[in-house]
Amino acid sequence: MSVLTGQLVAFYDVCIDLPACRGQRSPFISHVSQQQVADTGGSVQLHCSAPYSTGYPVLWIKTDGSVPLSTGCARILPDTRYVVRCDRDTPTYILEVRSRLRPQKVILVASMSSISLLQDLPVNGRPKAFNLGCASMLKENINQLQETDGGWYQCLVLLDSTTRIVAESEVLVRTSPLILDTSTRSVVVDEGRNVTLECHAKGFPTPRIAWRRKDSRTLPGGKAIHRGNTLLIKEVTRSDRGSYLCVADNGVGRGARRSITVEVHFQPEVKALKPRVGQALGYEMDLECVVEASPPAVVTWRSKGRPLTDNRHFRCSHRVCFCALVRHIQGLPRRTCALILLEGEWENIWERNISLLQTEI
C-alpha cells in the first residue's frame, strides 16, 4: 500500500468508526463507466456507483501515475477541470465550477451511494441536461480535455487498511497525428543500391501513412501514392533523387507531413558541347563542357597535359574556358576538360577533349 493511500485510510478512520457507519451492508461497486472516447478540447464523464459506501473512502485515481484525483466529494488536485459530485444527506446541491474561461454553475440532484468524476470542459451552445443514472444535472461544458488526460482511471473503495474494491474505466482522447523523430529525415545512397524510407506517427486513432513525390512526379515503380510506414526504392537511379513527402492522417485535425530528401551519389558524366571548335586567328572563343556528378566534382582545364591558369590568354571556370585571343593554332591544338572526383583517399579522372581548328574569315 502506498504512503498516500495509507494517509487517506488514516484520514477516514474517524468516519468508519462513527455509529452511523457501522452495521450496514458491505459496499460494492455496481457500475463504472465503460471505455470513453472524446476529442481534445471536448469533455468526458466517468461514473462510479458504489452502494452502501457511506462512511467509506471512495477515490478516483489515474493509474498511469497512481495520482489520486478525488476523495469522497472533495477534489484533491488543484486542477479545476476536475469536478467531483456526490450525494450527501440532502438530495440537492448547488456547486460553482470555475473554468479558465468563465465561472459556471452546476445544479445536481443526487441519490444515495453515487459518485461521479467529471472533466467539464466549455462548448458553445445551450446548456444540456444529462441523465447520470442515479443523478441528473443541468450543465454547460467547458472545453479543456487534453491528450494527457487519456489513460486508465480507477474507482476505489477502501474497506480497511488492506482491503479495497476497485473498478476501472479507460479514457481515449482523439489527437491529431504527430510524426515521430524516429522517422527518416534525409538519406544519401549510391546509385544502384536499395534504400528504405521510414515514417512513423502517433495519434488516436492510429494515423495512416501515405507517400508521394513533393514535385508531383510519380514514385519509383510508377505509382502516384504509396501507403504504409516504409517506402522501398530498389536500385536507385539519379532520377529518384529529390524530396519525398510522408503524410500522416487519422481524421483528426489537418494531419502531419514531413519532407524527406534523397541524395543519390553517381559517377560523373562529362560532355563537350562542341567537340570541335573553329575560329580565325586573332579572335576570341569559348570552350564549354558540361559535368554532371554527385557529389560535385573538381573540374580543371588542361593543355598538353598541363593545367591551364588564368592569364591574359585564358580565363577558365567550372564550365567554360575562355580563350581571349587565338594567335597560333599550332600552339593550341587541343584543350582537355578534365574532371577529378574526390572520394575518400582515391580519385578517378574523366576527360573530354575539345579540338581547335583554324578557319578563314
pLDDT tens column, 114-131: 444 444 433 333 333 333
The domain containing residue 290 runs over which residues? 273-358
Q: Encode burial over 320-337: b for 16+ CB neighbours within 10 A, e otherwise.
A: ebebeebeeeeebeebbb
pTM: 0.62
Asked which of 174, 195, 227 is the last residue of a domain, the reply is 174
* Coil vs helix vs strand at 18: coil
Asked which of 236, 266, 296 is the last residue of a domain, the reply is 266
**Which cell is 305 given?**
597535359
- How much is the pLDDT for 221? 86
**For residue 238, what is the DSSP state?**
G
- Same domain for 155 and 205, yes or no, is no
**For residue 277, what is the DSSP state?**
E
Q: How many CA atoms lie within 13 A of 155 on its CB side?
A: 26
- Same domain for 158 and 26, yes or no, is yes
**CATH number reported for the structural domain that contains residue 301 in this entry:** 2.60.40.10
**Which cell is 46 given?**
466517468
**Which cell is 195 given?**
534504400
- Cα separation, 309 vs 341, in Å, equals 20
Q: C-alpha distances in angstroms, 339 versus 252, 297, 342? A: 53, 7, 10
- How much is the pLDDT for 107? 34
Q: C-alpha distances in angstroms, 89 versus 49, 109, 118? A: 17, 12, 21
- How much is the pLDDT for 246? 96
For residue 4, report the phi and psi dihedrals to the nearest 5 degrees. Answer: -65, -45
How many domains are there within the chain? 3
- Same domain for 107 and 184, yes or no, is no
- Same domain for 244 and 313, yes or no, is no
- Structure confidence by residue, pLDDT tens digits, 198-230: 999 999 999 999 999 988 899 998 899 999 999
Low-confidence ranges of the chain (pLDDT < 50): 1-22, 89-143, 322, 324-333, 339-349, 356-361
Q: How many residues in the chain?
A: 361
- Cα separation, 241 vs 99, in Å, equals 53
The terminus-to-terminus CA distance of the chain in angstroms comes to 106
Q: C-alpha distances in angstroms, 251 versus 147, 151, 255? A: 16, 21, 7
